[in-house]
Structure 1
Amino acid sequence: MAVREFAERGADLELVGIQKRFPGFTAIEELDLTIPAGAFFALLGPSGCGKTTTLRLVAGLEEPTQGRILIGGKDVTATKSHQRPVNTVFQSYALFPHMTIIENVAFGLKRRRIGDALGRAHEALRLVELDHLAQRRPQQLSGGQQQRVALARAIVNRPALLLLDEPLGALDLKLRRQMQLELKTIQEEVGLTFLHVTHDQEEAMTMADTVAVMNKGAIEQMGAPELLYELPRTSFVANFLGQSNLFTGRVADTTSSAITVAAGGHRIVVPVSRAQRHQGEITVGVRPEKVALHVEEPDDDADRNLLGPGRIIDVSFSGVSTQYIVEVPGVGTVVVFAQNVGSGPMASVGAEVWLSWAIAHGFGLDDGPSETGRFPADDSTRSIAAQHREALVSELEEN
């Protein structure tokens, strides 16, 4: 089975006016989304934001209260789960412990009486570089290897769409990062459409071509990972996708290229092109790694913002960088990430410091600072993994 044979089945996914209500709350407000064929797309958000409900709707395990679901241009809204060209890779792997690896991968093909099931299963295992372990059982494999088996079992069915439900959550940090790169490489090789649901910001940014940040049942912002990180539109995105220093004040001056905001007795300048709003009270921000820490007051620089003096109230060493928390009168605490290029922290708790950053690195939001919006997760329904596992067990017992 050639890699291109997998790719031939890739299809786009379109959600049109999707709404999902449960008793007592609305999980999805109104969702319109198009994922092109062959894309690696991530739905990112906190628990209860609606991302898992969206995946369940696409998988056919929930019915939308309103709206349509199209895969490859075909309306599958009323189509049963097992009749959709969709497979799911779970965090729990859902492998049969009493079967060998090759039997696990070939199970679905044999169930549907597809010819050369074992040959296709071996090809899928070769794709994830595990064919040499085909005769072992799941408990004889590491967590990362089991995850690759689960991926092979999903790919072997040649789905038009592959759903990834927090697939790396059970792995340790080092293995998770390794699997992130491997999953991305496999997706590029097979050309399938991947929809990845996760709460892990780094995972989404590392793997996906496009990330949609969900909040309270709606997409807050969508785009390439670097765009969302460098130019967040709202305080929710700015704080959920990494960390941000946010300052709120009134616009004191505007030119054709820059906006000056008066915040707590300081003047902070942002480019017009990087600001969502240009008048009234607005919130501007900068990422902690863009901020430089100075133990002496630096000279004025027309291209840089300057805050201070302030006082360091916390220092955290994390290996490649050191985090400083600086209390600046008028604006509160500011977080700084400094690369550890020397022998240790450049300043200690209690030290007086100044902070600066390039004007070009700032951004302006479309709203003010707010707490992360959350609402109850749907506990009345079982997980996708549990339902899928039960379905497989039922099929096995029938045969």
Structure 2
Amino acid sequence: MSSPRLFDAIVIGAGAAGMFCAALAGQRGRNVLLVDHSPEPGRKILISGGGRCNFTNIGAGAANFLSANPHFAKSALGRFTPADFLSLVERHGIAWHEKTLGQLFCDGSARQIVAMLLDECAAGGVETAFGLPAVVEHRDGQFEVGVGSSTARAPALVLATGGLSIPKLGATSFAYDVARRFRLKIVEPRPALVPLTLAADQALFKTLSGVSADVIASAGSEMFREAALFTHRGLSGPAILQASSYWQHGQPIKIDFLPSVQGGWLREAKRNEPRAPLARLLNRHLPERLGQALTDQLGLRGELANIPDRALEVAERQLAGWCFHPNGTEGFAKAEVTAGGISTAELSSKTMEAKRMPGLYAIGEAVDVTGWLGGYNFQWAWASGHAAAEALANRHPL
């Protein structure tokens, strides 16, 4: 059997974080091997943003991330900002545009981002091994990675294989399994940015499948104003996906269906339009099918003039905080990201290196840092990948 090939670092996972980390480390003079079990790198990038890749968010900061340690992401995010990544995108001549809420997308295709990352890897002399599973061992202070029929050895190993979301794209528990072997703690992974399912007793709302509205969705103290979408299984849309990351089983999701109206609006409408039915008023703010369904649920039929003020006040409160009781989520198959992962307590926030396992790094979605919807998770991939690459560059080479 041939001797292992020697590298300064081996990066496992050719997604956003892994490719970026490998490229930067290579460009800083490190001899890097980038491995992925998929024959095609960046598969999750390719489907993101409807195929146009929401590659960052100009407002990304630690407050936009969920983690057992809410301060952990500050260091990496502060040292590699959305503006830094945007300058790279522009240097490659990739046209982009801003959508709502600071979200940046390619004008063309997500393939441009993958091509950019591969070009950056090539510029750093990164060697790649795609379409081959990796087997990790550790002996004599070195990491040995079996890749197909060959073996590579390096003093540094970067786990960048992501979480469990979207298994059809090849997601596995690889990063968690390796971390556990080296006695690193794992925060229980769960689906995040995921549609919620409703029980049969809320089946009425399933008849609204396809109807969406601008709302405020709340889970606990977290509130998000965006569109909510009714589906044949329950609730989805950006506002719900955002809230889902904070939702816990047994907890309600509250929806304010009329976030733009002022308190007391129904009594005022009663004075100004006493003969109007409630459904007509709701239809000015909401899709007709939704307005009618809410009216039916409230049981307030007939003209406003015939409805007591007290009943209108109760209706207002209910419309501003309608409680849904999800019985679950649509799982990792439909989750955009994974919450939980390798515990931040195990890692240096500056370098992403494991405190108890020198030379082992974890970046991107594999770590217990989960961003909001809208380009935040990509920014974490770039920032954490950059942090690890800087640390690799500062290590003594072979």
TM-score by length of 2: 0.25
By relative contact order (CA 8 Å, sep 6+), the higher-ranking structure is 2
* Structure (1 or 2) with the greater strand fraction: 1
* Structure (1 or 2) with the greater helix fraction: 2
